[in-house]
């Protein structure tokens, strides 16, 4: 029996492990995995990655006594973390990285997240998905067309230039109330000295969002921190990043309410946190 023609994508398997699909979809995945060796192996890989993340977090909790630990100049650069996960470092570089990971909870989280993404993306080919299942998944990612046509969302325009970054335009719509630029650099974001950043506080009726934009060439990456009205971290909230209506990234906020996006090239994006009804458009200009 040819099962590969209807294999679910790795993203759907990841959502299945996180219990983010409804019962009928979950049963379809369970039935498929029982008859498909490839998907069974991939699901086991995702489970091992998830257990590895939990084990690393448990280990770092016993080693590092400061839960509010923030990155420092000694923390591993993003390219070192990527090379470490890909096993592309020399033996000496790998030993230095491992020695640092024994004492740094921040970098352990960075490595764990990078490992999970590598496993989720490590599929050699794409397989077709049954139309009925595809429609259910798409419905969970995107609001209906009617909702989208009726909805007016807040919009922010960030200019990226050699001289730095600036918020050059913004439009606020309910439930967004206010946005203000934070002049002092955010100490909780690890960036090399001299890297331009832009820090914004965005307030809504239900939450407060701290946005740190870090310049990366002509584009940038974002560090989003979601807090409730009492300044408590909104942990475990699913955040969606879309471009032209197509989901390109999704993850949950960590225990501190933080989520980091991948590199964003110049363009227009939509960032959506359904739990807080906070959806806004972000335009990156170079």
**Residues 148, 106 within the same domain:** no
**Residues 123, 227 within the same domain:** no
The domain boundary residue, chosen from 99, 134, 169: 134
pLDDT at residue 220 tops 80: yes
Tens of pLDDT, residues 77-100: 888 888 877 777 888 888 888 888
Q: What proportion of the chain, given as a percentage, has pLDDT over 90?
A: 31
pLDDT score for 253: 92
pLDDT score for 258: 94
Is pTM, for the whole model, over 0.85? no
pLDDT score for 65: 40
**Residues 112, 198 within the same domain:** no
How many separate domains does the chain show? 2
Q: What proportion of the chain, given as a percentage, has pLDDT over 70?
A: 77
**Residues 197, 266 within the same domain:** yes
**Residues 12, 114 within the same domain:** yes
**Residues 175, 50 within the same domain:** no
Half-sphere exposure of 71 (CA within 13 A, CB side): 18
Q: What is the mean pLDDT of the chain?
A: 79
**Residues 86, 167 within the same domain:** no
Return the beta strands (E) in 84-206 as ranges: 154-161, 164-171, 176-182, 197-204
**Residues 130, 146 within the same domain:** no
**Residues 99, 174 within the same domain:** no
Tens of pLDDT, residues 126-182: 667 688 887 777 776 665 444 444 468 899 999 998 878 899 999 999 889 999 998
Q: Which of 38-47, 116-125, 186-195 has the lowest mean pLDDT?
A: 186-195
Measured CA to CA in angstroms, residue 101 lies from 60, 84, 108, 109, 280 at distances of: 8, 11, 6, 10, 36
The domain boundary residue, chosen from 101, 134, 167: 134
- Domain limits for position 219: 142-285
The CATH number covering residue 157 comes to 2.60.40
Which residue from 129, 151, 144 is spatially nearest to 15, judged by alpha carbons?
129
Instruction: Give me the helices (H) in 64-130, please.
Output: 78-85, 91-101, 105-121
**Residues 129, 149 within the same domain:** no
**Residues 129, 147 within the same domain:** no
Sign of CA dihedral 157, 143, 209, 189: negative
Q: What would the mean pLDDT of 60-65 be, rounded to a whole number?
A: 47
pLDDT at residue 207 tops 80: yes
**Residues 182, 107 within the same domain:** no
Q: Which of 32-41, 42-51, 97-106 has the lowest mean pLDDT?
A: 42-51
């Amino acid at each position: 029996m040819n099962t590969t023609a209807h294999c679910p994508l790795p993203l759907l398997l990841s959502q299945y492990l996180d219990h983010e699909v409804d019962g009928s979809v979950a049963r379809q995945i369970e039935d498929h995995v029982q008859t498909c060796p490839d998907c069974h192996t991939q699901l086991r890989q995702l489970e091992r990655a998830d257990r590895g993340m939990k084990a690393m977090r448990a280990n770092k909790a016993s080693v590092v006594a400061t839960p509010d630990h923030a990155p420092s100049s000694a923390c591993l650069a993003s390219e070192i973390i990527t090379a470490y996960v890909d096993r592309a470092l020399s033996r000496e570089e790998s030993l230095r990285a491992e020695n640092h990971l024994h004492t740094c909870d921040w970098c352990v989280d960075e490595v764990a997240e990078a490992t999970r993404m590598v496993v989720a993306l490590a599929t050699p080919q794409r397989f077709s998905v049954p139309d009925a299942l595809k429609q259910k998944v798409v419905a969970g990612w995107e609001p209906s067309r009617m909702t989208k046509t009726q909805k007016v969302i807040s919009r922010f325009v960030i200019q990226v230039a050699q001289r730095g970054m600036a918020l050059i335009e913004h439009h606020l719509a309910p439930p967004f109330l206010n946005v203000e630029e934070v002049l002092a650099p955010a100490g909780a974001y690890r960036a090399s000295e001299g890297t331009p950043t832009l820090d914004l506080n965005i307030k809504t009726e239900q939450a407060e969002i701290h946005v740190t934009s870090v310049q990366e060439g002509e584009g940038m990456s974002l560090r989003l921190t979601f807090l409730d009205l009492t300044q408590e971290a909104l942990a475990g909230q699913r955040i969606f990043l879309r471009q032209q209506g197509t989901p390109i990234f999704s993850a949950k906020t960590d225990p501190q309410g933080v989520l980091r996006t991948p590199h964003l090239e110049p363009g227009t994006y939509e960032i959506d946190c359904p739990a807080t009804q906070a959806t806004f458009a972000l335009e990156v200009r170079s």
